[in-house]
Amino acid sequence: MNLSQKKLFVIAHRGASAYFPENTMSAFKAAVDMKVDMIELDVLLSKDNIPVVFHDEKLDYKTNGSGLVLDYTISELKKLDAGSWFHPKFKNERIATLREILEYSKAKILVNIEIKPEAVTDNEESGVVELVLNLVNELEMEDQVLISSFDYRVLERVKKSRHPVKMAMLYEQKQSNGRAPVKLAKDYNIDAFNLNKKELTENWVKQLNDRKIPFLVYTVNDKKLMESIIESGAKGIFTDKPDVLIGVVEELFKKN
């Protein structure tokens, strides 16, 4: 993955999630059909240590199940309806495993894997980072994957593994302990900085641009805001509406 190869990466946040149930195969397929540059997904672990693509720690709001994802085996999770909450026409959409999404994405689309803090434990050897890296390695997808997390232990473990995969930091104030993005980028040897649109101050933008540290901004669905973020020098935007962002990008770069 070369983050300097494009003016701007259009990143489908949990797939085309404004139109399809987030983090499902249908949402990712729709994003690919829209010709986005990258999909973003969230990873938790099942009870039997299978990386699954799901955002919430609890199942209650996005499935017909209840309780914690980590309390269900993969076979139990696969029985749940993960689509009806969004619209009845998506009834029986299933929770996907990371393997299923990566196998679909191979040689097709870049993937930002966000490892959720709820999946991270003190056990490094058999933890979520090791499981994700082993899967990426097995599928020979190192050049397609960007790993990110709000839990800085993930970045430390990826770095320690010497695995040839790109890393992005999701800014988390408490762990940052007053360090600015440029200092954090150096301390953790990251390849990109993922920022909430609310954190995008002029000072941080200048620091990141001056040091040529790629920054990706989430989650942006408004056209005017998309335009201003592109003009700030961002290398990517996460959006629930990839088709809207693609239109903005085409119009802006046509003018330039």
- State which fold the 9-57+97-255 domain adopts: TIM Barrel (3.20.20)
Tens of pLDDT, residue by residue over 234-246, are 999 999 999 999 9
Q: Quick check: 254 pLDDT over 80?
A: no
pLDDT at res. 124: 66
Q: Quick check: 126 pLDDT over 80?
A: no
Residue 125 banded pLDDT, cuts 50, 70, 90? low
Query: Per-residue pLDDT averaged across 171-175, rounded?
Result: 91
Question: What is the Cα–Cα distance from 108 to 190, expressed in whole angstroms?
Answer: 24
Radius of gyration of the chain (CA): 18
pLDDT at res. 122: 80
Say what the pTM is: 0.96
pLDDT at res. 253: 82
Q: Which residues are catalytically annotated?
A: 13, 55
Query: Per-residue pLDDT averaged across 76-99, rounded?
Result: 97
Task: Encode the chain in three state secondary structure.
Answer: CCCCCCCCEEEEECCCCCCCCCCCHHHHHHHHHCCCCEEEEEEEECCCCCEEECCCCECCCCCCCCCEHHHCCHHHHCCCCCCCCCCHHHCCCCCEEHHHHHHHHCCCCEEEEEECHHHCCCCCCCCHHHHHHHHHHHCCCHHHEEEEECCHHHHHHHHHHCCCCEEEEECCHHHHCCCCHHHHHHHHCCCEEEEEHHHCCHHHHHHHHHCCCCEEEECCCCHHHHHHHHHCCCCEEEECCHHHHHHHHHHHHHHC
pLDDT at res. 185: 93
pLDDT at res. 200: 87
Tens of pLDDT, residue by residue over 39-73, are 999 999 999 999 999 999 999 999 999 999 999 99
Q: What percent of the chain has pLDDT over 90?
A: 88
Q: Quick check: 255 pLDDT over 80?
A: no
pLDDT at res. 152: 95
> End-to-end alpha-carbon separation of the chain, Å?
25
Task: Encode 152-196 in three state secondary structure.
Answer: HHHHHHHHHHCCCCEEEEECCHHHHCCCCHHHHHHHHCCCEEEEE
Q: Quick check: 5 pLDDT over 80?
A: no
Tens of pLDDT, residue by residue over 191-234, are 999 999 998 899 999 999 999 999 999 999 999 999 999 999 99
Mean pLDDT, all residues of the chain: 94
Query: Per-residue pLDDT averaged across 90-97, rounded?
Result: 96
